[in-house]
């Protein structure tokens, strides 16, 4: 049933005038008459007695009246709820992010955007960087902030914010702690404390070790950078991590030393190509205007 027919019926039941109802609904008397006739055919009852100069409600119309009112009211309530939901969806943005996001420029872009656009809200969901691309397939309107060692798939658009590189983290009194740069092979006899396989940093470190001809002796792999640093400070081993991941956490009795060979990584915002919410498009436009894209 076309809800507009019930709207016409309710107005005509109140005015009992085709002319006045046509004026209320910004249409013609002919259109009102057609809508009523169509409704009567659909319900198989006569709703208005047109035998006198002034139309009157039939008994069937009086029975229909409370139900029609309820249907129209519920339809309008439904539209209001859906409109509110749509507005909230358009003004809300979900960002999937690696745990160390606050160490990077991407976090400053988010906070600055919210200051400029208080009408939007952002929900941050922390996931390990190895998981980020897979979450995106479930939440098509989410924006991702993660680490990549290469460009994302062709169905993604991305905006790199900065680069990051591997460094060695050593105890401050380590024989190589004062070196300006280390060849990774110089650490072949060390015990390695690494961020685990749930991140996308584990395998690149293994690959770098293989590149210079040795298999690392891994005595710890996990997700807690603070624990790794405490273990290094207590002479339990060394680590290879991304410089900006550890810079703000470094202890006085640990040092960073650049290494070679190395692997360049990009910190970047990414999203699937296609249609997006107002919040997503506004944030993406802001990023394009404010990020100086990195050139290889």
* Domain segments of the chain as ranges: 3-85, 90-159+269-290, 166-263
Tell which residue, 294, 295, 269, 273, has the closest CA to residue 283.
Answer: 269
Tell me: pLDDT of 139 over 90. no
Tell me: pLDDT of 134 over 70. no
Give me the pLDDT at residue 133, please: 54
Q: What is the mean pLDDT of residues 21-25?
A: 90
pLDDT tens profile 257-275: 999 999 999 999 999 888 8
Paired strand residues for 144: 96, 270
Q: What is the mean pLDDT of residues 215-230?
A: 92
Q: What is the mean pLDDT of the chain?
A: 87
Q: Domain 90-159+269-290 class?
A: alpha beta
Tell me: pLDDT of 135 over 50. no
Q: Choose between 48 and 90: higher pLDDT.
A: 48
Tell me: pLDDT of 243 over 80. yes
Q: What percent of the chain has a predicted confidence (pLDDT) above 70?
A: 91
Give me the pLDDT at residue 85, please: 67
Q: For domain 3-85, say whether CATH 3.40.50.150 is its number.
A: no
Q: What is the mean pLDDT of residues 50-71?
A: 90
Tell which residue, 140, 138, 119, 98, has the closest CA to residue 225.
Answer: 98
Tell me: pLDDT of 205 over 80. yes
- Distance, in Å, from the CA atom of 9 to the CA atom of 166, rounded to the nearest integer, reads 73
Tell me: pLDDT of 296 over 70. no
Same fold for the pair 3-85 and 166-263: no
CB 12 within 8 A of CB 21: yes
Q: For domain 166-263, say whether CATH 3.40.190.10 is its number.
A: yes
């Amino acid at each position: 049933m076309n809800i507009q027919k019930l709207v016409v019926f309710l107005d005509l039941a109140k005015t009992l005038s085709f002319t006045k109802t046509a004026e209320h609904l910004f249409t013609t008397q002919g259109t009102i008459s057609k809508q009523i006739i169509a409704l009567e055919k659909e319900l198989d009852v006569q709703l208005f007695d047109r035998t006198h100069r002034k139309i009157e409600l039939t008994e069937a119309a009086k029975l229909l009246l409370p139900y029609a009112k309820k249907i129209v009211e519920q339809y309008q309530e439904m539209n209001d709820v859906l409109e509110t939901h749509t507005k909230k969806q358009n003004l809300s943005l979900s960002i999937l992010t690696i745990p160390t996001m606050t160490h990077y420029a991407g976090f400053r872009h988010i906070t600055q955007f919210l200051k400029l656009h208080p009408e939007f809200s952002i929900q941050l969901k922390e996931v390990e960087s190895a998981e980020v691309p897979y979450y995106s397939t479930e939440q098509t309107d989410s924006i991702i902030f993660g680490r990549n060692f290469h460009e994302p798939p062709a169905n993604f658009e991305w905006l790199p914010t900065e680069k990051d590189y591997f460094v060695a983290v050593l105890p401050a009194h380590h024989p190589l702690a004062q070196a300006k740069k280390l060849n990774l092979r110089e650490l072949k006899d060390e015990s390695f404390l690494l961020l685990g396989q749930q991140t996308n940093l584990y395998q690149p470190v293994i690959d770098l070790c293989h590149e210079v001809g040795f298999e690392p002796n891994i005595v710890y792999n996990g997700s807690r950078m603070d624990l790794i640093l405490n273990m290094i400070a207590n002479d339990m081993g060394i680590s290879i991590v991304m410089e900006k991941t550890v810079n703000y956490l470094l202890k006085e009795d640990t040092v960073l030393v650049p290494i070679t060979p190395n692997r360049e990584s990009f910190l970047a915002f990414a999203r699937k190509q296609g249609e997006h919410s107002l919040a997503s498009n506004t944030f993406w436009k802001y990023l394009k205007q404010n990020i100086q894209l990195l050139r290889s």
